[in-house]
């Protein structure tokens, strides 16, 4: 951007004063009584030199940029890629442009992206927040910058959010496994304090308790984010026949894929050797030899609602916070069945 | 952003002049001989009110923002999600922040995103260009805005680009199928005039010719972007036993996934009924009942090179264009074998 064409450059090339160029390109030629031929010459020169009017200065004045900043937790995760696409399609219908950033579940990167977006005059944010970023969101609130959370929210922080009913989702998935006759159901989740992680865990536990089954901590498999080697070692241990695990409920798409790969490597047949219930969409679920059961999040609806709530805040129709909780869909297929070999 | 805290707001709250606030917050208190207590009071008030210094005005002056704009063709495509992550990881190491936009293969959206990024003072672009955007790139060139193309390039437009040797990739994949003893090899591709589409097609044709096989236009299956119904109908026809197709080479990941789903639905066994060779990575390739053969693009290296070339242009070490062509890796597995039933 170092060689951006300036009004002065155009003035020199056209052999007129910089002031004259400014009058013409800002539509004030009549006021300033610039001759028609001169105005035309200036316009043609600006076009020829590919002059870009400085929109930032303009947007600084108007305070509106028709741009939404979307902060996701990891852009290489297809869940966020598809959600980003849904938000973008909806924003486009409403005349808004979406710029993305990916925090990669990293606190510092999240703050840096928020700053970068603010400094680039976006109108508001849609954020899938990383763990521990509540204080960053508090600052946004204090600065009266409109934002809507998606996928995740913080219990102690009053904000707008669009999430699915995660408790209900894992409750119903666990119910499906129980109804098939599975009793020893393992639960695979990330180790973090995010609200949706806790909600999903409690849904699993409650479904067991409602059937008179006490939750067994040996069946709850918590794994650190981004530690595939640790996952592998412990997951193979979880599958050991001595443990007698009959079914596994995975609580995210990345955990589902990692688990399915290891189940395949060990040549366990699904559902004969082990039944599985996965979470979120993946193109793999349809291509697997046995149709995979999964909790389907309504990505299109989440995107639509997120844009709607944000624009209502921007246009101050409803400046207050709005919380939307959508139902996930339970897709029960062959992978969750109880089939004796 | 409409209630952004101004210097004047802080001045009023602290009971001092706006000029005094400006001196203190711009670190000129000594020059302006502001008392220490007053300076402290102003700083605390600014913090309390969550004052955000106007970085845009600063970046307008310095002309540097340490930000890269990344324009991909479709963010919901895992290929671009993973590539975006690779670029981001590399940019972060170099102290740059990446903002993304997705053109969704749409001309108008591509132009709008380019404008949005320019107006937000990014330092330069990394672009996977949509079809027909050559003139948009010409304008960027004319305006001396640094950019590097990835994945795709235009033959008639001299720019920096990082791509894989697509001709070689499909040449070698076709060779693998030929060496297995397949002769009737169908080729599935999108119908467009993008250079990488043509290069991949020519690689397939050349490999056949080098084995004395004439390319048969009945075996070349061209499909419009975003038309799954048309794809389905014609792909089922392609698989009709009368056609005698022995193997299929898919030229993108999205085409591969669509094709595999239909092959599964029709209960064709891979490789017994039909052999396949796919393109690009997908988590499905490892989870499929038969390990899928595919052309693996070196995403990490593409990301690294794209950032390197862009930063060299930005820092004017090498202001000229640089073209990098990387080798794809040919992963030949069971899906391409010739196995008689």
How do residues B261-305 score in pLDDT, each as one tens digit? 999 999 999 999 999 999 998 888 988 999 999 999 999 999 999
d(CA A302, CA A150): 7
d(CA B138, CA B121): 19
Beta bridge partners of A289: none
Under 8 Å between Cβ of B125 and B69: yes
The verdict on a CB contact (< 8 Å) between A120 and B121 is yes
**CATH code of the domain made up of A166-298+330-336:** 3.40.50.2300
Position A28 pLDDT exceeds 80: no
For residue A149, the distance in angstroms to the closest alpha carbon of chain B comes to 17
- Whole-number average pLDDT of chain B: 89
Residue in chain B lying closest to A50 (CA): B143
Higher pLDDT among residues B49 and B329, named by residue:
B329
Please state which of the ranges A58-67, A166-175, A321-330 shows the lowest mean pLDDT. Answer: A58-67
- Whole-number average pLDDT of chain A: 89
Query: Pairing mode, if any, of strands A329-331 and A293-296?
Result: antiparallel
Q: Which of residues 88-147 of A touch B (CB under 8 A)?
A: 88, 92, 97-102, 104, 109, 112-113, 115-124, 139, 142-146
For residue A301, the distance in angstroms to the closest alpha carbon of chain B comes to 16
Give yes or no for B244 touching A (CB within 8 A).
no
d(CA B135, CA B157): 9
Under 8 Å between Cβ of A322 and A309: yes
Q: Is it true that A65-164+299-326 and A166-298+330-336 share their CATH fold? A: yes
d(CA B87, CA B304): 6
Give yes or no for A85 touching B (CB within 8 A).
yes
For residue B33, the distance in angstroms to the closest alpha carbon of chain A comes to 30
CB contact burial B308-323 (16+ within 10 A = b; e otherwise):
bbbbbbbeeeeeeebe
Residue in chain A lying closest to B85 (CA): A76
Position B58 pLDDT exceeds 90: no
Under 8 Å between Cβ of B199 and B164: no
d(CA B174, CA B183): 10
Under 8 Å between Cβ of A167 and A204: no
For residue B187, the distance in angstroms to the closest alpha carbon of chain A comes to 21
Q: What percent of chain A has pLDDT over 90?
A: 65
The verdict on a CB contact (< 8 Å) between B67 and A115 is no
The verdict on a CB contact (< 8 Å) between A59 and B98 is no
Please state which of the ranges B188-202, B262-276, B316-330 shows the lowest mean pLDDT. Answer: B316-330
d(CA B113, CA B269): 44
Q: How confident is the model at residue A7 (pLDDT cuts 50, 70, 90)?
A: confident
Strand segments (E) across chain B: 67-72, 97-102, 124-127, 147-150, 160-164, 185-190, 220-223, 247-250, 275-279, 293-296, 323-326, 329-331
Q: Which of residues 4-63 of A touch B (CB under 8 A)?
A: 4-5, 50, 52, 54-57, 59-60, 63
Reduced to 3 DSSP states, what percent helix, strand and coil does chain B have, rounded to the nearest 5? 45, 15, 40
Q: What percent of chain B has pLDDT over 90?
A: 65
The verdict on a CB contact (< 8 Å) between A57 and B60 is yes
The verdict on a CB contact (< 8 Å) between B56 and A121 is yes
Mutation pick from A108, A118, A120 vs chain B, by most beta carbons of B within 10 Å, is A120
For residue B280, the distance in angstroms to the closest alpha carbon of chain A comes to 14
Taking residues B3-28, what's their average pLDDT?
80
Q: What is the DSSP letter of B341?
A: -
d(CA B326, CA B297): 9
Residue A271: asked if its preceding bond is cis (omega within 30°), the reply is yes
Taking residues B319-336, what's their average pLDDT?
93
Residue in chain B lying closest to A284 (CA): B284
Other CB atoms closer than 10 Å to residue B108's CB: what's the count? 10
* Residue for token pair 């020059």: B31
Q: How confident is the model at residue B1 (pLDDT cuts 50, 70, 90)?
A: very low
Position B57 pLDDT exceeds 70: no
Under 8 Å between Cβ of A72 and A126: no
Give the DSSP H/E element, type plus range, for residue A160.
Answer: strand A160-164
Per-residue pLDDT tens over the stretch A294-329: 999 999 999 999 999 999 999 876 668 999 999 999
Taking residues B45-55, what's their average pLDDT?
73
What per-residue confidence (pLDDT) applies to A24?
81
d(CA A282, CA A82): 10
d(CA B273, CA B267): 9
Per-residue pLDDT tens over the stretch B226-242: 888 889 999 999 999 99
Helices A55-62 and B107-119, interaxial angle, to 10°?
Answer: 80
Other CB atoms closer than 10 Å to residue B68's CB: what's the count? 29
d(CA B13, CA A27): 40
For residue A269, the distance in angstroms to the closest alpha carbon of chain B comes to 11
Q: Which of B280, B279, B297, B291 is nearest to B337 (CA)?
A: B291
Position B249 pLDDT exceeds 90: yes
What per-residue confidence (pLDDT) applies to B56?
44
Mutation pick from B1, B48, B101 vs chain A, by most beta carbons of A within 10 Å, is B1
Under 8 Å between Cβ of A126 and A108: no
Q: How confident is the model at residue A191 (pLDDT cuts 50, 70, 90)?
A: very high
* Strand, coil or helix: A60: helix
The verdict on a CB contact (< 8 Å) between A76 and B59 is no
For residue A213, the distance in angstroms to the closest alpha carbon of chain B comes to 33
Other CB atoms closer than 10 Å to residue B15's CB: what's the count? 9
d(CA A129, CA A242): 39
* Residue for token pair 């008030």: B45
Q: What's the CATH architecture for A65-164+299-326?
A: 3-Layer(aba) Sandwich (3.40)
Q: Which of residues 287-326 of A touch B (CB under 8 A)?
A: 287-289
Higher pLDDT among residues A258 and A46, named by residue:
A258
Query: CB-based burial of residue A341 (10 Å sphere; 0-12 exposed, 13-18 middle, 19+ buried)?
Result: exposed
Q: Which of residues 138-167 of A touch B (CB under 8 A)?
A: 139, 142-146
Contacts of A3 in chain B (CB under 8 A): 143-144
Position A12 pLDDT exceeds 50: yes
**CATH code of the domain made up of B166-297+330-336:** 3.40.50.2300
- The Cα angle at residue B7 between residues B3 and B11, in degrees rounded to 5: 110
Mutation pick from A68, A90, A116 vs chain B, by most beta carbons of B within 10 Å, is A116
Higher pLDDT among residues A319 and B36, named by residue:
B36
Q: How confident is the model at residue B61 (pLDDT cuts 50, 70, 90)?
A: very low
* Strand, coil or helix: A82: helix
Q: What percent of chain A has pLDDT over 70?
A: 92
The verdict on a CB contact (< 8 Å) between B124 and A77 is no
Higher pLDDT among residues A173 and A289, named by residue:
A173
Q: Which of A38, A45, A52, A42 is nearest to A4 (CA)?
A: A52
The verdict on a CB contact (< 8 Å) between B81 and A85 is no
Q: Which of residues 54-83 of B touch A (CB under 8 A)?
A: 54-57, 59-60, 63, 67, 74-78, 80-82
The verdict on a CB contact (< 8 Å) between A75 and B76 is no
Domain ranges (residues) in chain A: 7-53, 65-164+299-326, 166-298+330-336
Quote the distance between the C-alpha of residue B205 and its chain's center: 27
What per-residue confidence (pLDDT) applies to A59?
46
Contacts of A108 in chain B (CB under 8 A): none
d(CA A62, CA A64): 5
Q: Name the residue facing A119 among B55, B102, B289 (closest C-beta).
A: B55
Residue in chain B lying closest to A6 (CA): B143
Contacts of B261 in chain A (CB under 8 A): 286-287
Q: How confident is the model at residue B42 (pLDDT cuts 50, 70, 90)?
A: confident
Both tokens of residue B103?
Answer: 């053109």
Q: How confident is the model at residue A22 (pLDDT cuts 50, 70, 90)?
A: confident
Both tokens of residue B283?
Answer: 């988590």
What per-residue confidence (pLDDT) applies to A55?
47
Both tokens of residue B69?
Answer: 């704009």
Q: For chain A, give the number of residues.
A: 341
Beta bridge partners of B221: B188
B82 Cβ neighbours under 8 A, 6+ residues apart: A76, B281, B299
Contacts of B47 in chain A (CB under 8 A): none
Superfamily (CATH H level) for A7-53: lambda repressor-like DNA-binding domains (1.10.260.40)
The verdict on a CB contact (< 8 Å) between A75 and B63 is no
The verdict on a CB contact (< 8 Å) between B85 and A100 is no
A269 Cβ neighbours under 8 A, 6+ residues apart: A341
Please state which of the ranges B44-53, B117-126, B173-182 shows the lowest mean pLDDT. Answer: B44-53
CB contact burial A139-163 (16+ within 10 A = b; e otherwise):
bbeebebbbbbbbbbbeebebbbbb
For residue B142, the distance in angstroms to the closest alpha carbon of chain A comes to 7
Mutation pick from A119, A253, A266, A302 vs chain B, by most beta carbons of B within 10 Å, is A119
- The Cα angle at residue B116 between residues B113 and B117, in degrees rounded to 5: 85
Higher pLDDT among residues B50 and B141, named by residue:
B141
Under 8 Å between Cβ of A97 and A66: yes
Contacts of A95 in chain B (CB under 8 A): none
Residue in chain B lying closest to A142 (CA): B50
Which H, E and C letters describe B44-57, residue by residue? HHHHHCCCCCCHHH
Fold for the domain defined by B65-164+299-327: Rossmann fold (3.40.50)
User: Distance from first CA to last CA of chain A, Å, rounded?
Assistant: 67
Under 8 Å between Cβ of A185 and A177: yes
For residue A59, the distance in angstroms to the closest alpha carbon of chain B comes to 9
Reduced to 3 DSSP states, what percent helix, strand and coil does chain A have, rounded to the nearest 5? 45, 15, 35
Under 8 Å between Cβ of A293 and A336: yes
């Amino acid at each position: 951007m170092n060689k951006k064409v300036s009004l002065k450059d155009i003035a020199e090339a056209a052999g007129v004063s910089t002031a004259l160029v400014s009058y013409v390109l800002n539509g004030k030629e009549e006021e300033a009584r610039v001759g028609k031929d001169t105005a035309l010459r200036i316009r043609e020169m600006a076009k020829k030199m590919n002059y870009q009017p400085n929109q930032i200065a303009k947007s600084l004045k108007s305070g509106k940029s028709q741009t939404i900043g979307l902060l996701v937790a990891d852009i290489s995760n297809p869940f966020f890629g598809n959600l980003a696409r849904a938000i973008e399609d909806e924003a486009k219908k409403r005349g808004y442009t979406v710029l993305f950033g990916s925090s990669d579940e990293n606190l510092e990167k999240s703050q840096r992206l928020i700053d970068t977006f603010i400094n680039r005059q976006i109108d508001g944010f849609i954020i899938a927040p990383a763990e521990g970023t509540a204080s960053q969101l508090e600052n946004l609130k204090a600065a009266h910058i409109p934002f809507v959370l998606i996928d995740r929210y913080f219990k102690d922080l009053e904000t707008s959010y669009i999430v699915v009913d995660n408790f209900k989702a894992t409750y119903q998935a666990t119910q499906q496994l129980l109804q098939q006759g599975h009793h020893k159901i393992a639960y695979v989740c990330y180790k973090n304090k995010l609200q949706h992680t806790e909600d999903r865990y409690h849904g699993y536990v409650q479904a067991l308790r409602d059937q008179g089954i006490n939750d067994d901590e040996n069946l709850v498999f918590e794994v650190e984010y981004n530690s595939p080697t640790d996952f592998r070692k412990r997951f193979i241990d979880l599958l050991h026949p001595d443990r007698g695990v009959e079914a596994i409920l995975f609580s995210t798409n990345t955990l589902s894929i990692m688990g399915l790969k290891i189940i395949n490597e060990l040549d366990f047949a699904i559902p004969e050797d082990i039944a599985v219930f996965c979470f979120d969409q993946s193109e793999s679920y349809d291509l697997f030899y046995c149709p995979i059961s999964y909790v389907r999040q309504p990505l299109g609806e989440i995107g639509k609602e997120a844009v709607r709530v944000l624009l209502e805040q921007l246009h101050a129709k409803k400046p207050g916070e709005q919380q939307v909780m959508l139902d996930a869909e339970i897709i029960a297929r062959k992978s969750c069945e109880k089939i004796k070999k």
